[in-house]
Amino acid sequence: MASSTLLTDLAENFFLCSVCLDQFKDRQTVTVLHRYCRNCLKTVIQASYDGKLKCPLCKQEHVIPENGVDDFKTDFHMKSMLEFIQLQKSFGNKDLKKCVSCLKNTEVSAFCFKCRDYLCEQCYKVHVTSKMFIDHKTHILRLDNIEAKNMTLDKLTSLTEDPRCNIHGKKEAQLCCSSCGNLPVCIACTYNKHKGHDLHDVTEIAERERKLLRQELADLTKYKGKLYGLPTKIQTTTQNLNENAVQKTERLIYQHKQQAHKIKDKLSECTRERKRGLEDIRCRIRDNDRRITLNLEKELGQVREKYDKIRKTANQEYDNESEEFINKCDKTEGELFRKLGSLDANLKNLTTAKDLLVNQNEGELKQIREYCEQIIKRYENLTTTTSSILASKDDWTDAQCIPDIRAACDPLMVEMEKGFPELDFLSDFVISDITKVIRDVTLAQHDESVVDVAGIKVNVGYFTDILSRGDVKIFIIHKAYDGYLHITVFNSKGKIQRQDQIKSETGRLTCGLLSELKAVTWNYWYDIGIYDVRDGAFSRKNIRDVITSWPSDQCVSCVTTDPVKNHIIVGTNRRNVYVFTDQMNYSHMITLPAVIDASDDITVHRGSLLVCDNSRGRSYAVTMEESQSKLMYEFTKPDLDGLDWRPTSVCTDNTGFIYMLWNAAISYQRRCILVQYSQNGRQLLTTRKVAGNAYRVSTLEENGPEKLLITTKRWGELYTYDLVVT
């Protein structure tokens, strides 16, 4: 920023418009200090449809002034540098030019910035010696000084003429009006248009602005190292993510090989046992045949018939024993082959889940990287512009440009202070061990109708939801007569922790647990809220106040949580799914594939989203990518009694098996079935008829094995099913 800064020290693209990629023409400056040609900026403004201008370089948004491009400032500092560059090119052509004094076409040797025209050698001498042109002497540039390597910013400033009054163009400006953005004004203006305004000497304002700018730059410099270190940290995080992904892939393959070898060893041992057992039976058969033959020969003809019968009876017994033994071996081998197939399927599922989690983390890292690159570009543009303006030591330039620079410093500093805490967990992800999923979960053969669960008795009203995680269980009961939702919180021993009530006109409230301390709820139409199980505090938001583009005919239909990212996921009666942070701040929207009309219930399963679409009678698994999600697979629709079954609720257990409620109507009566799917969701395992008024399905942990729990919609009955792990 020294006064000896040469024009050659500035990058060539410093003088180029980023829209037309040519040198600036009628330069205008936006509030982030990026410059554009007047016509280019006008074109960008005309393309705006929401009254906001998005800077083509840094993508920051700015409100378009009332008079459009006319209200953006002209960059006088850039104007003087571009005039010098044009002058330099003109001299470089060595063409004959008309002298402003003698009007002859000759080879010129100087340029007068006061006259704004060329001088031949003879007229140049008159110009610098005549008293008539004494005020021109300091504004004359010799041809031998035209090279940029000899020209510094302070020299260029001394050559150019001071600004003239913005109203009286022929009068030089004597004062600077702070009330009008540091505009140059003459003495006459102080008695009319600028009367009563805050007027100062330009040197005083320039010195004050320089001092304030140096303070701002010192504050920005504190974060320079942190800002430039972010790309390295992002690169390191990405490298660690890739290394962890490789390590986990190798671990899964190694575990698969180990388990496969164990099962194959058992198969080999079973085959050997089969051979030994059959050989032993055959040996005993031969021995018995020999004994019978000896007895037959001894007893001769009278007892031949007797011993034939004995032989036949003995052979039949041995045949039965052989058949039983073969069946036993076949059963053992079948079980081992089934486990081997399950092991292979689990490897495929976990590998797919791993790839999905890696892709999601890489996507978020890419967004952070692009964001950092934009901040770095804004910082470098600000420091380059600041260095150029301070080096010129031009009071008028400083008075007009420095306030804009300072205004751009504050929002830039806010962006540079961001620490990106998400980088701490994006380098790794959570995935199950392959050895912990080789098991089956089956529904018990009986169900238990419950009207008194952990102390709850329902005489009036009905359950709307029930959830469980760890030591916390939440029951929600609606009583239509008082218009309240009653919430009861229990621990694993069945002891009531607290009971609260929430005013609700619609009576439809369901929830999902963010943690053992907080639950997220939704009420029909637009409300979401967070209920604190410790003190009963309840805060809610109207989604339409957060998302301004919310369609008028759209309403909330379901809610779930992502336990990995601690996100709240809200489904609607359309294809739109909205994601919020655990503080109910809006994050982004997911658009479901076109095969889905609406989400009646959703849940997160191994990095994907399971969706029940009751209107179409289908259920799907889709990716959770921002913007447009992709269809992964469709769940097998039950084929029972020839009815048109439609999904209403979905959940998963601790081992990853999926459970879904399907309902159908027949003879004006509602029927409902519970369906169990495999861990990868592609195989229908079990179908069970349940109460026709079944409404929601969830899991429940009560001092022992996990249970499946179904809430009813009308009378408050609950049905539980034991989950048998084999």
DSSP states of 506-538: S--EEEEESSSSEEEEEETBTEEEEEETTT--E
Residue of higher predicted confidence among 148 and 252: 252
The predicted structure's pLDDT at residue 1: 40
Residues near 278 by beta carbon (within 8 Å), at least 6 away in sequence: 322, 325
What are residue 478's phi and psi, to 5 degrees? -105, 130
In this model, does residue 457 exceed pLDDT 50?
A: no
Residue of higher predicted confidence among 162 and 561: 561
Least confident of 238-247, 545-554, 681-690: 545-554
Residues near 133 by beta carbon (within 8 Å), at least 6 away in sequence: 126, 127
Residue of higher predicted confidence among 30 and 591: 591
In this model, does residue 91 exceed pLDDT 70?
A: no
For the chain, the structural domain boundaries read 224-426, 439-725
Mean pLDDT of the chain: 78
The predicted structure's pLDDT at residue 463: 59
CATH class of the 439-725 domain in this structure: mainly beta
The pair of structure tokens assigned to 113 is 């910035």
Residue 452 pLDDT grade (very low, low, confident, very high; cuts 50, 70, 90): very low
Amino acid at the residue 585: N
Beta strands in 543-600 (DSSP E): 556-562, 567-572, 576-580, 586-591
Positive/negative CA dihedral, 415, 416, 421, 424 = positive
Give, as one character, the DSSP assignment of residue 631. Answer: E
Residue of higher predicted confidence among 56 and 474: 56
Residue 534 pLDDT grade (very low, low, confident, very high; cuts 50, 70, 90): confident
3-state DSSP: the chain helix, strand, coil percent, rounded to 5? 40, 30, 30
Answer for the pair 665, 636: CB distance below 8 angstroms, yes or no: no
Order of strands, sheet of 140-142, starting from the edge strand that comes earlier in the sequence: 117-119, 110-112, 140-142
Q: In this predicted model, what pLDDT tens digit does every residue of 494-503 receive, in sequence order?
A: 567 777 777 7
Q: H or E segment at 126?
A: helix 121-129
Residues near 295 by beta carbon (within 8 Å), at least 6 away in sequence: 303, 307
Look at strands 110-112 and 140-142 and give their pairing. Answer: antiparallel
Q: What is the mean pLDDT of residues 22-42?
A: 69
Secondary structure string (H, E, C) spanning 316-346 = HHHHHHHHHHHHHHHHHHHHHHHHHHHHHHH
In this model, does residue 182 exceed pLDDT 80?
A: no
Q: Write the burial class of residue 543 (CB in 10 Å: 0-12 exposed, 13-18 middle, 19+ buried).
A: buried
The predicted structure's pLDDT at residue 438: 42
Q: In this predicted model, what pLDDT tens digit does every residue of 294-326 receive, in sequence order?
A: 877 877 777 777 878 888 888 898 889 899 989
Nearest one of 725, 623, 722, 635 to 680, comparing CA atoms: 635
In this model, does residue 647 exceed pLDDT 80?
A: yes
Answer for the pair 486, 460: CB distance below 8 angstroms, yes or no: no
CA distances (Å), 444 to each of 688, 720, 724, in order? 10, 10, 6
Q: What is the mean pLDDT of residues 466-477?
A: 62
Q: What is the CA radius of gyration of the chain?
A: 42
In this model, does residue 412 exceed pLDDT 80?
A: yes
Q: What angle do CA 653, 659, 662 make, to 5 degrees?
A: 160
CA distances (Å), 183 to each of 18, 177, 198, 401, in order? 27, 5, 11, 11
Q: What angle do CA 648, 653, 654 make, to 5 degrees?
A: 155
Nearest one of 645, 564, 568, 206 to 398, comparing CA atoms: 206
Residue of higher predicted confidence among 328 and 96: 328
Residue 456 pLDDT grade (very low, low, confident, very high; cuts 50, 70, 90): very low
Answer for the pair 462, 716: CB distance below 8 angstroms, yes or no: yes
CA distances (Å), 325 to each of 318, 322, 639, in order? 10, 5, 38
Answer for the pair 531, 547: CB distance below 8 angstroms, yes or no: no
Residue 437 pLDDT grade (very low, low, confident, very high; cuts 50, 70, 90): very low
Q: What is the mean pLDDT of residues 615-623?
A: 94
Positive/negative CA dihedral, 663, 665, 671, 677 = negative
The predicted structure's pLDDT at residue 52: 79
Residue 432 pLDDT grade (very low, low, confident, very high; cuts 50, 70, 90): low
Positive/negative CA dihedral, 98, 101, 106, 109 = negative
Cα 444–chain centre separation? 41
In this model, does residue 254 exceed pLDDT 90?
A: yes
Secondary structure string (H, E, C) spanning 665-697 = EECCEEEEEEEEECCCCCCEEEEEEECCCEEEE
Q: Write the burial class of residue 448 (CB in 10 Å: 0-12 exposed, 13-18 middle, 19+ buried).
A: exposed
In this model, does residue 461 exceed pLDDT 60?
A: no
Residue 57 pLDDT grade (very low, low, confident, very high; cuts 50, 70, 90): confident
Answer for the pair 568, 556: CB distance below 8 angstroms, yes or no: no
The predicted structure's pLDDT at residue 459: 47
How many angstroms separate the CA atoms of 488 and 522, rounded? Answer: 17
Look at strands 509-513 and 496-503 and give their pairing. Answer: unpaired
The pair of structure tokens assigned to 607 is 């990095």
Residue 239 pLDDT grade (very low, low, confident, very high; cuts 50, 70, 90): very high
Amino acid at the residue 107: E
Q: What is the mean pLDDT of residues 287-291?
A: 91
The predicted structure's pLDDT at residue 247: 93
Q: What is the mean pLDDT of residues 193-198?
A: 83
Q: H or E segment at 77?
A: helix 76-92
Q: H or E segment at 37?
A: strand 35-37
Cα 115–chain centre separation? 60
Residue of higher predicted confidence among 176 and 71: 176
The pair of structure tokens assigned to 719 is 């049905």
- How much is the pTM? 0.51
How many angstroms separate the CA atoms of 206 and 396, rounded? Answer: 7
Residue 513 pLDDT grade (very low, low, confident, very high; cuts 50, 70, 90): low
- Of all residues in the chain, the percent with pLDDT exceeding 90 is 17
Answer for the pair 299, 309: CB distance below 8 angstroms, yes or no: no
Nearest one of 341, 469, 429 to 606, comparing CA atoms: 429
CA distances (Å), 261 to each of 266, 268, 335, 340, 401, in order? 9, 10, 15, 10, 75
Least confident of 126-140, 394-408, 445-459, 617-631: 445-459
Cα 501–chain centre separation? 35
Give, as one character, the DSSP assignment of residue 21. Answer: -
Residue of higher predicted confidence among 83 and 479: 83
Of how many residues is the chain composed? 726
Q: In this predicted model, what pLDDT tens digit does every residue of 331-368 receive, in sequence order?
A: 888 888 888 887 787 788 778 778 877 887 887 788 88
The pair of structure tokens assigned to 545 is 């106040």
- What is the residue-wise DSSP string for 131-180? GGGGGGGGGEEEGGG-SGGG-BHHHHHHHSPPPBPSSSTTSBP-EEEGGG
In terms of average pLDDT, the best of 98-102, 147-151, 263-267, 549-553 is 263-267
Give me the residue label for tokens 């320079």: 224
How many angstroms separate the CA atoms of 529 and 584, rounded? Answer: 8
